[in-house]
Amino acid sequence: MHVSLRGLAKPVLHGYFRSSCSWRVRIAFALKGIEYDQVPVNLIRDGGQQLTEQYKELNPMQQVPAVEIDGVTLSQSLAVIQYIDETRPGPRLLPVDPIKRAQVRLISDLIASGIQPLQKIGAEKVQWAQHFIDRGFQALEPILRQTAGKYCVGDEISMADICLVPQVYNAERFKVDVSQYPLIKRLHQTLLEIDAFKMSHPSCQPDTPVDLRA
């Protein structure tokens, strides 16, 4: 059920320009046409601004994003996206049909949880990322062959697409050969033509370093 937005402050997204999880939330806000404020949390500067006691009060896991919305603070990007979908008008991010909704959740969870988060540091980081992204994409490609239409599940944009695009960005960043996954590549290219995905891109954020701006 949609909530009454009268008198409510704009949501506040605490995130990092290059964070996949933050990008997912930015895409969801853009698709829904929701205005919001951004507070950058630099994961590198000062030893990691997410590790401060002040930020820990917002997100005890000391990760991004944290979203202040409707008087509560939510973390975990998929929970934020589903809350936005349940409380705001606009295009649905999870389908009405229960089978398609389950497929969207399956794909979203595979990407968000099944592909190992990028936690290694130093020289091993690239090899670690390549291994787990490839492993995840090898599973995702045949699933998408069963579910995809114009987008990941049928012909409507969903939370699955919101998860896919940032993950392909990570794949390209870590030199994964995405041409091995023609359906993933095709869906990604289609989605990047959509304004909501363009405006939320890491190259276009307030905290994007000048040398990485579009």
For 117-158, the DSSP string reads: P----TTHHHHHHHHHHHHHHHHHHHHHHHHBSSSSSBTS--
Per-residue pLDDT in tens (0 to 9) along the chain, 214 residues = 565 555 578 999 999 999 999 999 999 999 999 999 999 998 888 888 899 899 999 989 999 999 999 999 999 999 999 999 999 999 999 999 999 999 999 999 999 999 966 555 566 788 888 999 999 999 999 999 999 999 999 999 999 999 999 999 999 999 999 999 999 999 999 999 999 999 999 999 999 998 888 7
Q: Which two tokens stand for residue 103?
A: 């497929």
Q: Which two tokens stand for residue 109?
A: 């969870």
CA-CA-CA-CA torsion sign (58, 60, 64, 68): negative
The beta strands (E) that lie in the chain are given as 12-15, 37-40, 66-69, 72-74
Q: Which two tokens stand for residue 170?
A: 């990570």
Please state whether the predicted TM-score (pTM) of the whole model is above 0.85: yes
Q: Which domains does the chain have, with CATH numbers?
A: 12-90 (3.40.30.10), 98-197 (1.20.1050.10)
